[in-house]
Amino acid sequence: MTNQTRHSTRRARLVNMAAVLLLLASSMGTQAQSATSVGPDSRAERRAEREAREMVWEGNRLFDEGEYAEAEIFYRKAREGSAAVGADFVGENADRFNLGAAVYEQDRYEEAVQQWSRVAGNENLSKETRSRAAYNQGNALYQQEQYEPALDAFKQSLRLDPGNADARHNLAMTRRKIQEQQEQEQQNQDQNQDQQDQEQNQDQQNEDGEQDQENQEQNQDQQGEGEQDDQQDQSQQDGQQDQQGEGQEEQRPDGQPRSLSPEELERILDALEQDERDVQQKINAQKKPAAAGKAEKDW
């Protein structure tokens, strides 16, 4: 195993990202570090340093074969060995750096961010290593759709290494993604506002329709009451006319009494003559003297 820097193509995993980001990530991707010695001072430290380097090398071999879970185990053992003696024997923090790469390949992006952020913030490491850690951190944040933090990570990578072309391109991609996200959010807000306006208009139309219906019903009720009152008035007028007509001589339209026909006059005259005859008979009956009785013979 050589001490050359390990690279992960990440082609299969980055297919879900933008095409240009896939091409950029293929050159650096989750960049694994090589294990180098920082020179321990004691025999125990030298032994621990040797064991840590062996763990990292074995982890790198498994990483290159795509055995990321197994590689993670060896990277963690290397970290434990260094922590046991209170030292960091693996050059450029390769155990932590490569641990971040192993969990990243297992889609555990939040853990990867934690490991790489510690490497990027370690001022005892070279700017190149810190720049690459910040670059990988940006990719992990991008995978979580945390575009603003990813943008900051790519900016940090460029501040540490202005020549990091991959970080520059990913920075541009992330800016476009943020712009698209903002435009989509604005579009969603506009659509929501339009929907709210339509709902308000519909509610207003429904209220207006209900009010119109109530007004129509009130008008119909009032009209029905008016017709009923008119019918009652007409009935009262008809009754009064009927009462006035009883016992009155039929009047002509001009107010004059109606002329009797000859037949009607004849019947009236006959009735009067009959009344006169009846009266005369009663008078004659009263004037007739009583019959005289026979004189008795005076013997």
pLDDT in tens, 243-297: 555 544 444 555 555 677 888 878 888 888 888 888 788 888 776 654 444 444 4
Phi, psi of 123, rounded to the nearest 5 degrees: -75, -10
14 φ, ψ (degrees, to nearest 5):
-85, 5
Other C-beta atoms lying within 10 Å of the C-beta of residue 189:
10
Whole-structure pTM over 0.85, yes or no? no
Q: Quickly state the pLDDT bin for 138 (edges 50, 70, 90).
A: very high
**Using CA atoms, how far apart are residues 142 and 16, in angstroms rounded to an integer?**
11
Checking if the pLDDT of 34 tops 60, the result is no
CB atoms within 10 A of CB 41: 8
Average pLDDT over residues 56-62: 92
Q: What is the CATH number of the domain that holds 93?
A: 1.25.40.10
Q: What are phi and psi for residue 247, nearest 5 degrees? A: 75, 5
Residue 43 is encoded by which pair of tokens? 């025999």
Q: Is residue 162 part of a domain?
A: yes
In a domain, 149, yes or no: yes
Task: Identify the domain containing residue 176 by its residue range.
Answer: 14-182
Pair 83, 114: CB distance under 8 Å: no
The total number of residues shown for the chain amounts to: 299
**Of the ranges 209-213, 225-229, 238-242, 265-269, which one carries the lowest mean pLDDT score?**
238-242
- Say if 203 falls within a structural domain: no
Distance, in Å, from the CA atom of 112 to the CA atom of 136, rounded to the nearest integer, reads 9
| Span 110-134, average pLDDT | 93
| Cβ-based neighbours of 107, under 8 Å, separated by 6 or more | 13, 143
The domain total for the chain is 1
Is 30 within the bounds of a domain? yes
Considering the domain boundaries, does residue 247 fall inside one?
no
Distance, C-alpha 118 to centroid of its chain: 42
Is residue 192, in this structure, part of any structural domain at all?
A: no
In a domain, 37, yes or no: yes
**Is residue 137 over pLDDT 90?**
yes
Q: Tens of pLDDT along 173-217?
A: 999 999 999 999 988 888 888 888 888 888 888 888 888 888 888
Residue 24 lies inside a defined structural domain of this protein: yes
Mean pLDDT of 78-89: 69
Give the pLDDT mean for 90-115: 89
